[in-house]
Amino acid sequence: MKKPGVKDLYIGAVIINPPTSLTNKTGSWRVIRPVIDQDRCIRCRICWAYCPDAAILELDQPYEAGGKKYSITYVVNYDYCKGCGICAAECPVKAIKMIPEVEKL
Amino acid sequence: MSMNKVLEKKLLEPLSGNHAVAYAVRDCDVDVISAYPITPQTTIVEKLAEFVASGELDAEFLHVESEHSALSAAIGAAASGARAFTATSSQGLALMYEVLFIASGMRIPMVMALVTRALSAPINIWNDHSDLMASQDTGWIQLVSTNNQEAYDFIIIGYKLSEREDVMLPVMVALDGYIQSHTIEPVQLEDPEIVRKFVPKKKRPVTLDPEKPVSFGTLGDPDWYYEFKIQQVEALERAYQAYKEVSSEFSQYFGRSYEPFQILYGEDSDAILVVLGAHTGTFLKAVEMARREGMKIGLGVIRMLRPFPPEVSKYLSQYSFIGVADKAINFGSASGSYLTNDIATSLYLEGASSRITTYIYGIGGRPVKIEDALYVVRHLWRISKRLEEVPKKPVFVGVRY
């Protein structure tokens, strides 16, 4: 399909039909992926708050770990996570590990 | 327009160029003014601050911390649908440099007054065209006034032109520091109600609006950027015809009109001297004096610098000898003059073989006396009579070696 040209695009690169960024799956940029150890996670919400791409999802999903019951679970949205590692660096209990996407880089 | 008609209107006011601009901004019912003071522009926004304080103009006056922010705030206001204005000079315009491209690239309709002044270093607050010329490639429409009436009129014309759907580009209106900005001339002010009828506020199809979200200032990767730039090229080309239509409508409303390029005493002349800005009057006087001595020299006045008017080459190609008076130095360029580079290129593309002599004058506010203008006109006449060679480098009028 021919991409829109000079005559088709709205002037000034203004996006008039948001949110087009959803179609841009930036997860493909990732070379290392964050993996959350749910048993270690204390549900402090710090990773969720720090993620620059809002790629940490807070799910209403109960979870039991180490005799504690949580009503929520954090998971990574790998469609948009770029693998920057901020969540792993900020996690106060080291519950997030960054794992290479490819065995040998 | 006949003098009688002017007097009938009874609205001639003695105004400095800066105050003429402020009155035009008031008469256009501008919504947002953001500015940072800089000499010699300051009295424009001072007057506007008075208008806002007295309630004469219902506008937001934003006091920002730099010119970079002044233009950025004006862009934001205009993107939200407001009619925005800012004004600056010299270093202020230089500090706006990156934002100038953002305004034109985002297709922001707005008007900025540029009160022309030399650029540092050395520090110089006086007039020349260094700031205007160095910003000619930023995608803005540039209108250059030659007197305070034109400064008033160009602000009004500027809003009409800028907000046209087939243009949607920012407009810079230049007036010369001190020679216009601080010099009082009679200016015919128009009835604000009629001015507002001429530049009505229309809701634009796309603005920043929480009810209907859009994104301004997005990323344009290699797959997309190019197309938006070509849209800009085409809009700037359309701006030329649009200007002519706006100017003609302005003339129906107010009885004054300005050609993008005007030739005076062209018919029987051996050479044409091209000028722009406030010294047009000085050079016109010199041309008229020289003509009385039998030197047939005409004057070409550029009032639209961007887009560069196509008729410049059409008219000038009829003459074998052309003089270009530029009040700025284009360091290290082919001709050493911004104006000559444009005129020479347009003539070459037209297939013309006219010879150009560049005269650099008035740098850093060096006074331009009638003798200086006469020196230029006589020099050009001697060239046209082949009594003197066409110099390969600019003639630096009045410099001490």
Rounded to the nearest integer, the mean pLDDT of chain B is 96
pLDDT exceeds 80 at position B11: no
> In chain A, how many domains are there?
1
Residues of B in contact with A18 (CB under 8 A): 213-215
Give the start-end residues of each E strand in B182-335. 184-188, 261-264, 271-275, 297-302, 304-306, 321-326
Examine domains B3-254 and B261-396 and report if their fold is the same: yes
At B8 the pLDDT is 57
Instruction: Give the minimum alpha-carbon distance from A77 to chain B in angstroms, rounded to a whole number.
Output: 23
At A102 the pLDDT is 87
Return the number of other C-beta atoms located less than 10 Å from residue B314's C-beta.
Answer: 14
Region B303-328 average pLDDT? 97
How much of chain A is helix, strand and coil, in % rounded to 5? 20, 25, 55
Please indicate whether residue B7 or residue B84 has the higher confidence score (pLDDT): B84
In chain A, how many H helices and how many E strands? 2, 6
Reported as a pLDDT band with limits 50, 70 and 90, residue B2 is very low
Q: Which of A5, A6, A15 sits opposite B215 (nearest CB)?
A: A15
Q: Which of A5, A6, A16 sits opposite B206 (nearest CB)?
A: A16
Residues of A in contact with B220 (CB under 8 A): 13
Between helices B148-162 and B225-254, what is the axis angle to 10°? 130
Rounded distance, CA B113 to CA B141, Å? 12
Residues above pLDDT 70, as percent of chain B: 98
Instruction: Give the minimum alpha-carbon distance from A17 to chain B in angstroms, rounded to a whole number.
Output: 7
Question: Where are chain B's structural domains?
Answer: 3-254, 261-396
* β-strands B184-188, B12-16 pairing: antiparallel
Region B367-373 average pLDDT? 97
Q: With an 8 Å Cβ cutoff, are B105 and A16 in contact?
A: no
Which residues on chain B place their C-beta less than 8 Å from a C-beta of chain A? 105-108, 168, 206, 213-218, 220, 223-225, 227-228, 230-231, 234-235
Instruction: Give the minimum alpha-carbon distance from B169 to chain A in angstroms, rounded to a whole number.
Output: 10
Rounded distance, CA B180 to CA B113, Å? 12
With CA atoms as reference, the chain A residue closest to B216 would be A14
pLDDT exceeds 90 at position B5: no
Instruction: Give the minimum alpha-carbon distance from B211 to chain A in angstroms, rounded to a whole number.
Output: 12
Q: Which positions of chain A have pLDDT values less than 50?
A: none
Q: With an 8 Å Cβ cutoff, are B227 and A10 in contact?
A: no
Residues of A in contact with B217 (CB under 8 A): 13
pLDDT exceeds 70 at position B7: no
Does any domain span residue A29? yes
Does any domain span residue A30? yes
pLDDT exceeds 50 at position B361: yes
Q: With an 8 Å Cβ cutoff, are B227 and A6 in contact?
A: yes
Q: Is the peptide bond before B205 cis (omega within 30 degrees of 0)?
A: no
Instruction: Rounding to the nearest 10 degrees, give the CA dihedral for residues B355, B321, B309, B27.
Output: 130
At B1 the pLDDT is 44
Q: Which of A3, A6, A15 sits opposite B218 (nearest CB)?
A: A15
Residues above pLDDT 90, as percent of chain B: 97
At A65 the pLDDT is 83
Instruction: Rounding to the nearest 10 degrees, give the CA dihedral for residues A76, A78, A80, A84.
Output: 70
Express each pLDDT in B15-29 by its tens digit: 999 999 999 999 999
Region B220-225 average pLDDT? 94
Query: Which of A1, A3, A9, A14 best probes binding to B when mutated, by most B CB atoms within 10 angstroms?
Result: A14
Q: With an 8 Å Cβ cutoff, are B224 and A9 in contact?
A: yes
At A105 the pLDDT is 54
With CA atoms as reference, the chain B residue closest to A18 would be B214
Does any domain span residue A71? yes
Nearest CA among B270, B252, B256 for reference residue B387: B270
Instruction: Give the minimum alpha-carbon distance from B321 to chain A in angstroms, rounded to a whole number.
Output: 41
| Separation in Å, CA B153 to CA A36, B135, B311, B317 | 66, 22, 22, 30
Which CATH code of 3.40.50.920, 3.40.50.620, 3.40.50.300, 3.40.190.10 fits the domain covering B261-396?
Answer: 3.40.50.920
The H-or-E segment that residue B151 falls in is helix B148-162
Region B126-148 average pLDDT? 98
CATH class of B3-254: alpha beta
Residue where the block lists tokens 């009295």: B43
Domain limits at A73?
Answer: 25-100
Instruction: Give the minimum alpha-carbon distance from A27 to chain B in angstroms, rounded to a whole number.
Output: 17
Express each pLDDT in B86-121 by its tens digit: 999 999 999 999 999 999 999 999 999 999 999 999
pLDDT exceeds 50 at position B60: yes
Does any domain span residue A2? no
**The pTM of the whole model exceeds 0.95:** no
Q: With an 8 Å Cβ cutoff, are A13 and B214 in contact?
A: no
Region B259-268 average pLDDT? 96
At B10 the pLDDT is 62
Cα-flanking dihedrals φ and ψ of residue B350, to 5°?
-80, -10
Reported as a pLDDT band with limits 50, 70 and 90, residue B165 is very high
Does any domain span residue A9? no
Reported as a pLDDT band with limits 50, 70 and 90, residue B9 is low
Instruction: Give the minimum alpha-carbon distance from A25 to chain B in angstroms, rounded to a whole number.
Output: 15
At A18 the pLDDT is 85
Rounded distance, CA B56 to CA B359, Å? 45
What CATH number does the domain containing A92 carry? Answer: 3.30.70.20
Which residues on chain A place their C-beta less than 8 Å from a C-beta of chain B? 3-6, 9-16, 18
Rounded distance, CA A31 to CA A80, Å? 13
